[in-house]
Amino acid sequence: MSPRPPKDDFSDADLKVGPPKQAAAGISSIGHAMGPAFRNIGPRKTFRATFSMNHKRGFDCPSCAWISEDKPPAIDLCENGMKSLTSEVTPLIIPSGFWPEYSLDSMLDKSEFWLGRQGRITEPVYRPKGSDHYEVVTWDRALGLVADRLRSLDSPDRAVFYTSGRIMNEPAFLYQLFAREFGTNNLPDCSNMCHEATGTGMRWSIGVGKSTVSYSDFDQADLILVMGQNPGTNHPRMLNALEGAKQHGAEIVGINPLPEAALIRYRNPQKPRGLVGKGTKISDQFVHIRVGGDQHLMRAIAKRVFQAEAAAPGTVIDHEFIDRYCEGFEAYREAALALDDDEVLATTGLGADEIDELADRYIRSDATIITWALGLTQQQTAVATITEIMNLLFLKGNIGRPGAGASPIRGHSNVQGDRTMGIWEQMGDWFLDSLRDEFGFEPPREHGFDTVKAIDAMERGEVDFFMSMAGNFVAAVSDSTRAEQGMTRTGMTVHVSTKLNRSHVACGEESLILPVLGRSERDVQASGDQVVTAEDSVCRITASKGNMEPVAENLLSDVSVVTRLARLTMPDSNIDWEGFESDYDRIRDPISRVIPGFEDFNRKLDEDGTFILPHGPRDSRTFPTVSGKARFAADGAPVLEVPPGRLILNTVRAHDQHNTAILGLNDRYRGIRKGRFVVFVSPEDLEALGLSDGQTVDVFSERPGEDDRVLRGYRAVDYPTKRGCAAMYFPEANELVHRSAVAEVCNTPAYKDVIIRLEPGANRVAGGRPTAI
């Protein structure tokens, strides 16, 4: 019998703080993965999932976007993937009586942890205007209400269609098709909040905003730089690749403000050495960098490359690659050599000897991979940092070479695929022309709202309708209180979801929740069981076929929601929406004609279940930039100014967490148990600020010309983060990120370089919760 959800929310009254771990995974990770699964979904489902997830003809992991091997092991999952799956297939469902019992006002005081633990949503529910409760409605009424609201809008551009990375390729393609036939490019997505800087920077540099490496490249690399990421929590299967690289002789350098356990050592739970031995040392060098110093570090390495080349001409820089494939080299050379060394040391917080050591590793390497994640892409200078990484790779020809390249690691399992399918407010004319030619309507051409612009428009009263395909929009976006205020001013909000979250309670004047199948559950349509696909971090398309029985009979698939809504909203449409719902092969047929690389889509899936998309820079050193060349960027390297007595805040995920979904209250690698309301600060900074370990503090964020944001009642934790830097958990700390604090050029919220001050706070009573004022 499954446990009932708690009526009371958690507090941090029982918070325990211990020393951070010095290794990731190990035998304990098996218990942490399988224990909750056995308890909550039972042995049968657990074993079935264990041998189905990430396997050919099985289903894709609902967690991260790390790649699967061509020949995966018998068990190809990680602790956090299993936790996400357990949450998805839980037999615990929200009963009909829940909705009259809990008002929206009462749920506004609940945490994400409490909301998610109530179970799966299995009935469409509707919150009428003026009511403080959702009520159960039929699917016909729910979809009819949505279609009626859409048809009543004064302009299609008063609607916003948001997408999360949970959505697979086929429903994503239909969703953008529906929005564009309806008449708008307002298609913000979670990429706007995570890897937008990667796409923007890499497209400028090489013409393609995706990884230039394959899985096999890790085994052929001489050097791997792991920047701005915590693979042990956010994409644990990557540790297998790093361990394999070490066994093949690669050196690995971890570059991060926090010394994460996975950057120190990995104890592979599928190998004896990982279970009972010491495991594998990951970082040969750990570069404990200050937040905001990554671009300066990359350029400082480049400066040393130029100096080494001057000392031994023709032996360091790959002039053949640069002369044949690149432009802007001389301007970049001048900029790199002019870099101020003292500024580098101040900005990075490193010693010259540390940078010399790292540069020497790069110079000696004939094949280097640089891999990064949100620690780099959510800073205000993120795009410049990404182009700087590309500059450094160009110097030694580390693009389109075995064992080398750029490897951005996506944080959600199909966030990259959604963008490939056209979920973007700025899709180019080539894509829109292809839609026109395939479906016979003229798509809108004016760019739509990204995430930040969508919230701004809500605040101005310019959005009457907001629809979210999965995700937790108001929790994920910056400046949380303002985001919720904007959402509540929207006429109607619609959430296609599996479980309850903050966006369902901080909602529009009217709101609906439409419950859908999880990725692991069987999707049966008129033509039989259906298959969908996902794109991972290295451009691999993989089939995913759920094999678990749905937790309830009343659930629809994502495809069914979109197609039925399209038919009701646009009854005169010439698009075969009904046919798309009945057989997903019919969706893949137009995809194969609209999107390059998907030719013979259905045949490839039927034969192999997977294929790799073409990639010019990776495959043939063909660069689809304006000039046809890879481009060096010689712009200046900005310095993040930090006033005295202030720290730079970096938001992070806990180990028991997937994006905004809080799956548990422990962050065991960092030594935190039974709580989340902490701020990690170095012991030196605590002393300098006159604070002590365990003290209650109020956290203020500062931005010139704007009011401070504040979170009150957090516990200061003595932690080995970089001096001058602090860390707090996402999404709670999003309250501290001003809306105007965004990455230049790409408009991503800057969650990773927030200027904060800490002040002594009033001690909270036992069980009290922090507050945002």
Q: Give the integer Cα–Cα distance in Å for 606 and 589.
A: 13
Task: Please return the burial class of 574, using the count of CB atoms within 10 Å of its CB with bins 0-12, 13-18 and 19+.
Answer: exposed
- Residue 154 φ/ψ, nearest 5 degrees: -65, -30
- Residue 512 φ/ψ, nearest 5 degrees: -130, 145
Q: What local confidence, expressed as pLDDT, does residue 60 receive?
A: 87
> Mean pLDDT score of the chain, rounded to an integer?
95
Tell me the two tokens of residue 275: 């279970």
Q: What local confidence, expressed as pLDDT, does residue 368 receive?
A: 98
* Contact in structure between 714 and 679 (CB atoms under 8 Å): yes
Q: What proportion of the chain, given as a percentage, has pLDDT over 70? A: 97
pLDDT bucket at 764, cuts 50 / 70 / 90: low
pLDDT tens digit string along 711-742? 999 999 999 999 999 999 999 999 999 999 99
Q: What local confidence, expressed as pLDDT, does residue 64 receive?
A: 83
Tell me the two tokens of residue 495: 């959430």
Q: Judge whether residue 274 has pLDDT over 90.
A: no
* Contact in structure between 505 and 477 (CB atoms under 8 Å): no
Q: Judge whether residue 771 has pLDDT over 90.
A: no
pTM for the model? 0.97
Q: Give the integer Cα–Cα distance in Å for 371 and 281.
A: 18
Q: Give the integer Cα–Cα distance in Å for 285 and 275.
A: 24
pLDDT bucket at 765, cuts 50 / 70 / 90: very low
Q: Judge whether residue 476 has pLDDT over 60.
A: yes
Q: What local confidence, expressed as pLDDT, does residue 200 receive?
A: 98
pLDDT bucket at 119, cuts 50 / 70 / 90: very high
Q: Give the integer Cα–Cα distance in Å for 189 and 738.
A: 19
pLDDT bucket at 325, cuts 50 / 70 / 90: very high
| Omega within 30 of 0 (cis) for the link into 731 | yes
Q: What local confidence, expressed as pLDDT, does residue 767 receive?
A: 38
Q: Judge whether residue 4 has pLDDT over 60.
A: no
Q: For 115-135, what is the mean pLDDT?
A: 98
Q: What local confidence, expressed as pLDDT, does residue 231 receive?
A: 94
Q: What local confidence, expressed as pLDDT, does residue 5 receive?
A: 60
Q: Judge whether residue 768 has pLDDT over 60.
A: no
Q: What local confidence, expressed as pLDDT, does residue 511 receive?
A: 98
| Selection from 683, 702, 699, 591 nearest residue 640 by Cα | 702
The mean-pLDDT minimum among 326-330, 387-391, 622-626, 763-767 falls in 763-767
Q: Is the dihedral of CA 740, 745, 750, 752 positive or negative?
A: negative
Q: What local confidence, expressed as pLDDT, does residue 77 receive?
A: 81
Q: Judge whether residue 1 has pLDDT over 50.
A: no
Q: What local confidence, expressed as pLDDT, does residue 92 receive?
A: 95
Task: Please return the burial class of 260, using the count of CB atoms within 10 Å of its CB with bins 0-12, 13-18 and 19+.
Answer: buried
Q: Give the integer Cα–Cα distance in Å for 725 and 744.
A: 22
pLDDT tens digit string along 348-398? 999 999 999 999 999 999 999 999 999 999 999 999 999 999 999 999 999
pLDDT tens digit string along 203-248? 999 999 999 999 999 999 999 999 999 999 999 999 999 999 999 9
Q: What local confidence, expressed as pLDDT, does residue 507 receive?
A: 98
Q: What proportion of the chain, given as a percentage, has pLDDT over 90? A: 89
Q: Give the integer Cα–Cα distance in Å for 609 and 591.
A: 16
Q: What local confidence, expressed as pLDDT, does residue 71 receive?
A: 65
pLDDT tens digit string along 543-568? 999 999 999 999 999 999 999 999 99
Q: What local confidence, expressed as pLDDT, does residue 67 receive?
A: 67
pLDDT bucket at 7, cuts 50 / 70 / 90: low
